[in-house]
């Protein structure tokens, strides 16, 4: 499941270095890359994009994802809404942000493999890929899908870990290039310096 707020006006914190058109192009590029990486990952049978934005849903459908129109407001309510819409069609849920410039099937596969290893005794699992600052969540596996409620925003890494403990679920983490996301000009500069091939607009 890939949540997208909107294409138009997205990533306003990059406004100092990218104009509105460039930001929209970047968000659509990253969305298509996330869909492609997820579709190419073994163990992923369905890729869905949840968004209140018809343009984002059209781009998602064009990229091969199932679009889910969000009617609620906010990221976490949208994820819960989409999870409910997919009830009975998935035995676990991977939430993947749409702003990961270096996302690839190999890294998604590592997160799923960590979740698989942790769930071998049948225990519920929450598996997480933290961001580079160690506070955010750049990948989240919920097995089963309702083991905890999504808690993105702010210090979501600790929030998800706390929810997992409260639910009696096994909590595991995995590191990798999923740690890189694009929120600020500093993020953009880091990606340009270390993985310039990941960006096609400036």
pTM value is 0.92
In angstroms, the CA 18 to CA 201 distance is: 9
The predicted-structure confidence for 134-193, as pLDDT tens digits, reads as follows 999 999 999 999 999 999 998 999 999 999 999 999 999 998 879 988 887 787 888 777
**What average pLDDT does range 53-68 have in this prediction?**
96
Reported as a pLDDT band with limits 50, 70 and 90, residue 202 is: very low
Reported as a pLDDT band with limits 50, 70 and 90, residue 200 is: low
CA angle 30, 32, 34 (to 5 degrees): 65
Predicted local confidence at residue 175, as pLDDT = 87
The predicted-structure confidence for 73-116, as pLDDT tens digits, reads as follows 999 999 999 999 999 999 999 999 999 998 999 999 999 999 99
Whether residue 57 is predicted with pLDDT greater than 50 in this model: the reply is yes
The predicted-structure confidence for 26-45, as pLDDT tens digits, reads as follows 889 999 999 999 999 999 99
Q: Which CATH number among 3.40.1280.10, 1.10.287.130, 3.90.550.10, 3.40.50.1820 corresponds to the domain 2-198?
A: 3.90.550.10
* Four-CA torsion 131, 57, 22, 129, nearest 10 degrees: 10
Adjacent-strand bridge partners of 2? 49
DSSP code string of 9-75: T--GGGTTTS-HHHHHHHHHHHHHHHHHHHHTSTT----EEEES-HHHHHHHHHHTPEEEE--SSSH
């Amino acid at each position: 499941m890939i949540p997208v707020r909107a294409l138009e006006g997205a990533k306003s914190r990059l406004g100092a270095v990218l104009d509105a058109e460039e930001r929209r192009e970047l968000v659509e590029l990253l969305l298509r890359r996330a869909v492609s990486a997820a579709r190419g990952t073994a163990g992923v049978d369905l890729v869905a994009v949840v968004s209140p934005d018809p343009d984002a849903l059209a781009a998602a459908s064009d990229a091969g994802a199932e679009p889910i129109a969000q009617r609620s407001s906010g990221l976490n309510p949208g994820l819960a809404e989409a999870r409910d819409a997919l009830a009975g069609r998935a035995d676990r849920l991977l939430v993947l942000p749409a702003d990961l410039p270096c996302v690839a099937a190999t890294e998604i596969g590592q997160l799923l493999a960590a979740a698989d290893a942790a769930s071998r005794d049948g225990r519920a699992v929450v598996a997480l890929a933290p961001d580079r600052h160690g506070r955010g969540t750049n990948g989240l596996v919920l097995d089963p899908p309702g083991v905890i409620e999504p808690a993105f925003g702010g210090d979501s890494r600790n929030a998800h870990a706390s929810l997992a403990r409260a639910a009696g679920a096994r909590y595991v983490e995995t590191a990798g290039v999923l740690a890189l996301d694009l929120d600020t000009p500093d993020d953009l500069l880091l990606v340009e310096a270390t993985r310039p091939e990941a960006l096609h607009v400036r």
